[in-house]
Structure 1
Amino acid sequence: MTTELPLFPLGSVLFPGVVLPLHIFEHRYRQLVRDLSALPEGAPRRFGVLAIKDGHEVGRGNVMALYDVGCTAEIDSIVEYEDGRFDITTTGVHRFRLEAFDDEGPYARGEVELLDEVAGPEADVLAPGLTALFRKYQAALSELRGVQVGSIPELPEDPTVLSYLIGAATVLDTYEKQRLLTTESTVERLRAEAKILRRETGILKNLPSLPAVDLLRRRSR
């Protein structure tokens, strides 16, 4: 079963549960915000965020290709300025797959299928290990940046929520984050993230002593 959503192409990947602030200045997206604001009270003010595969965010016609799996974003707050711009705060809600794309109106719309998340029987077993790996990654990243690691907030115990948060918080390119978002089950995502965190932590710890060629070789594995 599909549903229609306004679409917002973005140069980054949004995960469910992650807060996304946006500054709205293009006229087509001002109209999108106005249309969602005009919905009856209590109606969800949601649009679909899709990462850009080829092209640029700003300017109509500059997006050449989009990834086909994205995340719905629900507007939590809106600040409107006198010149018509908006600052909005949104939160990722649900993964979806784009089935049809329409760019004929004032802003793009799409027919999307909301995707179920299958946790998998091993998710609860894998989650604590991933939390430990992420702590090591955070420590290595902080040390490289010369920032002292202070009190780190508690990570969620729910394996699915944890997998989304780590996917969003790890410093990766759009392609790799998109692969994590597209992963069909929590177990698969947790396993993929464990490999990524081991790789990235190793790179961070050895970064000052690695020649550029060796660094590229390690990242390509």
Structure 2
Amino acid sequence: MARVTIFPLAGAVLYPGLQLPLHIFEPRYRAMVSDALARDRLIGMIQPQRPAEGAALYTVGCLGRIGDVEALEDGRFNIVLEGETRFRVLRELTVTTPFRQVEAQLLSDNNDEVLAPIERASFEREARRFADAQGYVVDWDQVGRLDDLSLINGVSQIAPFDPAAKQALLEASGLGARCELLVQLMQFFGRTSGDDDEDGATLQ
């Protein structure tokens, strides 16, 4: 078990091995970053179940380590979080800090898992359809060079889905299950194109 300082932010989901750029401007989260920099540089990204002060949290988030950091003169920060491991919230702690903290269980993921060739081909085919429907310009040659883990987690992190869908992807157990769910979500959101642009804009 671990004590984790958390940053609840709807629509922002981090995965192990990936990066998430963040602009920190609220006083409590500036204090959170300052505290993390003075200790272990670790912050837990997790989504609230609704966008309200003190809202209940989803049960699974991802622990990130502060990599690049730019401290601005007015006290704001630009940081890049580097995903390390998913965690499951066991309970929220009573604290005196302006930022929230939880007791969490760190989850062990198999980062060596790969997709079957037919799974990879099916995913890339659906991703092309989805990108075309959304009007995205994609370098498919570069996509083809990505390993399975980077591809599936990367698309899961940046896809313009609503917070509940992004949470379901984060909670999916294993790369194959996440890939299957991602295909289903692309099919669903592809049919409702344009409804989730506002949610997608919250990623950074």
**TM-score relative to the length of structure 2:** 0.79
CA shift at 1:199, angstroms? 4.2
2:118 aligned partner: 129
Aligned in 2, Cα 1:34/1:94: closer, same or farther, shift over 3 Å?
A: same
1:140 aligned partner: 129
1:117 aligned partner: 109
CA shift at 1:147, angstroms? 5.2
Match 1:52 to one of 48, 56, 70: 48
2:64 aligned partner: 73
- With a CA cutoff of 8 Å and minimum separation of 6, indicate the structure with the bigger relative contact order: 2
Match 1:100 to one of 70, 91, 99: 91
Tell me the matched-pair count.
Answer: 192
2:27 aligned partner: 27
Q: What are the ranges of 5 or more consecutive residues in structure 1 without an aligned counterpart? A: 57-61, 213-221
Measured in 1, the distance between the counterparts of 2:111 and 2:77 equals 37
Q: Secondary structure at the match of 1:52?
A: coil
Aligned in 2, Cα 1:153/1:35: closer, same or farther, shift over 3 Å?
A: same
**Paired letter, 1:52:** P
1:170 aligned partner: 159
Q: What are the ranges of 5 or more consecutive residues in structure 2 without an aligned counterpart? A: 196-204
The reply to whether residue 14 of structure 1 matches residue 17 of structure 2 is no
Higher deviation after alignment, 96-105 or 188-197: 188-197
Measured in 2, the distance between the counterparts of 1:151 and 1:163 equals 14
1:3 aligned partner: 2
**TM-score relative to the length of structure 1:** 0.73
Measured in 1, the distance between the counterparts of 2:79 and 2:111 equals 31
1:117–1:185 contact (8 Å) kept in structure 2 = yes
1:19–1:92 contact (8 Å) kept in structure 2 = yes
Measured in 2, the distance between the counterparts of 1:169 and 1:197 equals 12
1:134–1:166 contact (8 Å) kept in structure 2 = no
Identity over aligned pairs, percent: 29
Aligned in 2, Cα 1:21/1:169: closer, same or farther, shift over 3 Å?
A: closer
Q: Secondary structure at the match of 1:144?
A: helix
CA shift at 1:150, angstroms? 4.3
1:59 aligned partner: none
RMSD: 2.8
Task: Give CA deviations for 1:41-83 in whole Å, capped at 9, x if unaligned.
Answer: xxx4111111111124xxxxx1321101000111111111111
2:130–2:187 contact (8 Å) kept in structure 1 = no
Match 1:89 to one of 76, 80, 92: 80
Aligned in 2, Cα 1:79/1:136: closer, same or farther, shift over 3 Å?
A: same
Q: Secondary structure at the match of 1:30?
A: helix
**CA radius of gyration, larger in:** 1
Measured in 2, the distance between the counterparts of 1:85 and 1:109 equals 21
The reply to whether residue 156 of structure 1 matches residue 128 of structure 2 is no
